[in-house]
Chain A
């Protein structure tokens, strides 16, 4: 009796589910009209409002500085374009696996016209969804395959992060110079908490060191990877280890406040150490030790993309822009910053804007003791396990007029040269 009842109940429940699942057209149609009905009432109310539905897939939620930057970016862009936030659906804590495809497909089902994802690892799943929903545009932020994937409704956007990295390096350089002039520091050693040994990270820390070297030419750097984008404890420990090694300034390309907190703690013990953050203002966790943070202004990229989308223009497969368009900034300077820092920062921004300052000027760095005259990058996407070419891309010499042309051939960074003066510890 007991098992019979259980069996029956189960069978009924499963049947009901599967039956509903199989009934493709009937149920779906019903739901779609229901959904449209609710959203339409909102739209028709104020004529002239932009009538598009946007989906956003976030790898974490507002507790992560990185995702917060994206959430704010979308919100600002929508405000400026007059898009009602009721038309924007966020999906939070979407891991970089099948769940991303599920989320993307679900957003497309619910009638989204354009769908963004904020993390690199979402890309493959966004592409998969793009192949299935050809009338929906999928934008994978920080991705690197759209240019060569040949899927017309699949796009990538990425800001010129290296610019704000460089300028935050200038801030760090000014502080380093002050400390060396005062005689408190003799060894200009920089530490960097990196996430992964990936071009995006390499490009970032190289720009950071070049910014420092523009003030203190003899500065050099040690990089240690945490192999995670977000790991409070590991970033904290890595920063401690670097300070133990004698690093004076700790930069980071990882999303938590682990490193700045560690630097603040050491600073309070009387050690002359300072921190440069990423994404979010670190003054709240390191009021004495934080100098500044390099920041992306994602709203600029979102706005540019949405503007084209609304106007019905072709969105470039790959879009990148920087300070000149307002997509780069650094956070408010900390009280520990050296005198004259603001002026140096302004000068650097001005140089970047008018083109007189190139971050990756080949005369400013060497590889194995030699200046780099030409560097060929293969933009094909290769399956690293089989060695097969997934998407054929061009091979391009990215050094032009004595400058490494970062984020020009493709929005995602490809500067992966290991320049002299930087040591990777792991």
Chain B
């Protein structure tokens, strides 16, 4: 009798069927701790600074003063707004990497309103108008690739990416048109004298309105995805087009409608960035946040409440990194390495939440 002996591999990967909430959070927290340890090693070996001091500086940079806390919140809100916008598209497995363009289009029309209507409309009316036109502009930028996808099956990844470049060119044209002073290639602060079209302070806080708008969106999107019929349709389309068809869901309608919503919210983020934060427009208004938001949406698995945490974490890391650069005269790149290590560990932890490692058992255990 011949038995073929298969040697058992040292480590096997097994997809987990399910994992308890406490265990998955335990893994995430372990990942963060590991990240802090690893970047501590990096900090010490490269710069021979005390890692604890560096972490303290990061904390100070992001949350050290009232102003810094508000800036962290403000920037997290814009990032969150974009992530909330991306959530329905990505849940539908529609790879909308065109948020940059949708933000810029929303920002451009907002800047146009501030420049040309700032003198004639009262600010509340202007803000409502800017919100509406930025939603329209963002939605248009989202609908175009969706129509092509729904009608002719074009690749939405490429299409939305290309739409970014179109939007960037339109923005540079607008900047050239509105530059102030001429020749500077910047628009400068719009309505610096009158503050027309700027977000008014709420409860004595400059950025309170930003927080209110984005939190309303966050709650709204959570409910939309979870409880509405349309949200369910999105989930089904995301799982399988054929299932959706079988269930009588009209694919093209869901795709176009969802992208209109996704683009609209990203457009609104552009309005937030221009009217609520920057008070100017440039090709950097989106500043890569349209891509960062994909990480936020994906890590949160489209749960908009988790997105709040992740957006805050990312902005915290970013602010912390620039504070390290400033306090210890480290190059920005060094602080970006730290951010990179932390993100890597957090994203990596998702792997261990989905899979478990099984080590080969000691000899005695194996059956003959």
CB-CB under 8 A from A62, the residues of chain B are 331
User: How many Å lie between the Cα of A61 and that of B179 in the bound state?
Assistant: 25
Residue of B nearest to A89 (CB): B326
* Contact status A105-B67, CB under 8 Å: yes
CB-CB under 8 A from B186, the residues of chain A are 96, 121
Q: Which residues 15-70 in A have Cβ within 8 Å of B in the complex?
A: 17-18, 20-24, 27-28, 31, 61-62
User: How many Å lie between the Cα of A197 and that of B181 in the bound state?
Assistant: 11
* Contact status B282-A97, CB under 8 Å: yes
Known: A17-B73, A121-B184. A10 touches B119 (CB 8 A): no
When A and B form their complex, which 4 residue pairs have the shortest distance between CB atoms, in order from nearest?
A: A198-B183, A6-B305, A384-B180, A98-B278
User: How many Å lie between the Cα of A98 and that of B119 in the bound state?
Assistant: 22
Known: A124-B192, A198-B183. A7 touches B68 (CB 8 A): no
Q: Mark B183-196, 1 if CB is under 8 A from A, else 0.
A: 11110110011000
Nearest CB of B to A410, in Å: 13
Give me 24 A-to-B residue pairs in the complex whose CB atoms sit less than 8 angstroms apart, sorted by A's number. Answer: A3-B305, A5-B21, A6-B305, A10-B309, A13-B308, A20-B63, A21-B70, A21-B73, A61-B332, A90-B329, A92-B322, A92-B332, A105-B67, A106-B68, A109-B65, A110-B65, A120-B184, A121-B186, A124-B189, A128-B189, A128-B192, A198-B184, A381-B181, A383-B180
User: How many Å lie between the Cα of A102 and that of B277 in the bound state?
Assistant: 11
User: How many Å lie between the Cα of A87 and that of B279 in the bound state?
Assistant: 32
10 further contact pairs, Cβ within 8 A, besides A10-B308, A106-B68, A124-B188: A3-B305, A18-B211, A20-B66, A21-B205, A31-B64, A97-B280, A121-B184, A384-B178, A385-B178, A388-B193
* Contact status A92-B67, CB under 8 Å: no
Which B residues have a C-beta under 8 Å from some C-beta of A? 21, 63-73, 115, 119, 178-186, 188-189, 192-193, 205, 211, 215, 222, 226, 277-280, 282, 284, 303, 305-306, 308-309, 312, 322, 325-327, 329, 331-332
Known: A13-B309, A91-B322, A128-B189. A199 touches B183 (CB 8 A): yes
* Contact status B69-A21, CB under 8 Å: yes
By DSSP majority rule, is chain B's interface helix, strand, loop, or mixed?
A: helix
Residue of B nearest to A202 (CB): B183
Known: A93-B322, A97-B278. A196 touches B183 (CB 8 A): yes
Nearest CB of B to A141, in Å: 15
Whether A386 is near chain B, meaning CB under 8 Å from some CB there, is yes
Whether A134 is near chain B, meaning CB under 8 Å from some CB there, is no
Whether A367 is near chain B, meaning CB under 8 Å from some CB there, is no
Cβ-neighbour of A386 out of B72, B119, B222, B332 (below 8 A): B119
User: How many Å lie between the Cα of A98 and that of B277 in the bound state?
Assistant: 7
User: How many Å lie between the Cα of A137 and that of B280 in the bound state?
Assistant: 25
CB-CB under 8 A from B303, the residues of chain A are 3, 6
Whether A338 is near chain B, meaning CB under 8 Å from some CB there, is no
User: How many Å lie between the Cα of A305 and that of B322 in the bound state?
Assistant: 27
CB-CB under 8 A from B184, the residues of chain A are 120-121, 196, 198
Nearest CB of A to B215, in Å: 8
Nearest CB of B to A379, in Å: 12
Nearest CB of B to A279, in Å: 19
Q: Which residues 248-281 in A have Cβ within 8 Å of B in the complex?
A: none
CB-CB under 8 A from B178, the residues of chain A are 384-385
Nearest CB of B to A63, in Å: 8
* Contact status A384-B279, CB under 8 Å: no
User: How many Å lie between the Cα of A196 and that of B181 in the bound state?
Assistant: 12
Cβ-neighbour of A95 out of B183, B284, B332 (below 8 A): B284
User: How many Å lie between the Cα of A120 and that of B179 in the bound state?
Assistant: 14
Residue of A nearest to B188 (CB): A124
Whether A182 is near chain B, meaning CB under 8 Å from some CB there, is no
Residue of A nearest to B70 (CB): A21
Q: Mark A71-112, 1 if CB is under 8 A from B, else 0.
A: 000000000000000000111110111100010011001100
* Contact status A197-B183, CB under 8 Å: yes
* Contact status B179-A28, CB under 8 Å: no
User: How many Å lie between the Cα of A10 and that of B222 in the bound state?
Assistant: 13
Nearest CB of B to A247, in Å: 23
CB-CB under 8 A from A5, the residues of chain B are 21
User: How many Å lie between the Cα of A386 and that of B114 in the bound state?
Assistant: 11
* Contact status B306-A6, CB under 8 Å: yes
Nearest CB of B to A29, in Å: 10
* Contact status A125-B185, CB under 8 Å: no
CB-CB under 8 A from A91, the residues of chain B are 322, 326
Cβ-neighbour of A18 out of B73, B193, B279 (below 8 A): B73
